[in-house]
Amino acid sequence: MATIELTKDNFNETLTDNEFVLIDFWASWCGPCRQFAPVFEKASEENPDLVFAKVDTEDQQELAASFDIRSIPTLMVVRDKTVVYAQPGALPKDSLDDLIKQARELDMDEVRKEIEKQQAGDAQS
């Protein structure tokens, strides 16, 4: 599947309709973003069952702000509408491949339980 452009108009629908989405927050003026783009594109070709999406932080400032994106590129992995990874920095191909493999292997029931436990703990403090 080709990489899609995410906007505030299609963001929620994309995350709701797809179980596994990788999002690259980027900007055209950002050197590391331009270096990471072909790595991200290649991974999208090699993983046609996953949705690869890009958010242009210049055009979609509201969307970037809602995720507290402070540095780019930032890669985010969303499974079952849950953010399981979000970190700034351009990844080399091997690291991106490894991240995808690890995200595929996550037991989302366990992830949800852990999030509930953390939220319960936060509510008590």
Q: What is the DSSP string of 16-30?
A: HH-SEEEEEEE-TT-
Tens place of pLDDT per residue across the chain (125 aa): 578 999 999 999 999 999 999 999 999 999 999 999 999 999 999 999 999 999 999 999 999 999 999 999 999 999 999 999 999 999 999 999 999 999 999 998 998 888 888 888 877 76
Question: Could you confirm whether 113 is annotated as catalytic?
Answer: no
Rounded to whole angstroms, the Cα distance separating 111 from 19 reads 14
Question: Could you confirm whether 87 is annotated as catalytic?
Answer: no
Catalytic residue among 15, 22, 30, 63: 30
Choosing among 3.40.30.10, 3.50.90.10, 3.30.930.10, 3.90.79.10, the CATH entry for 4-124 is: 3.40.30.10
Catalytic residue among 6, 22, 23, 33: 33
Domain ranges of the chain: 4-124
Q: Of the candidates 49, 51, 48, which has an alpha carbon nearest to the alpha carbon of residue 23? A: 51
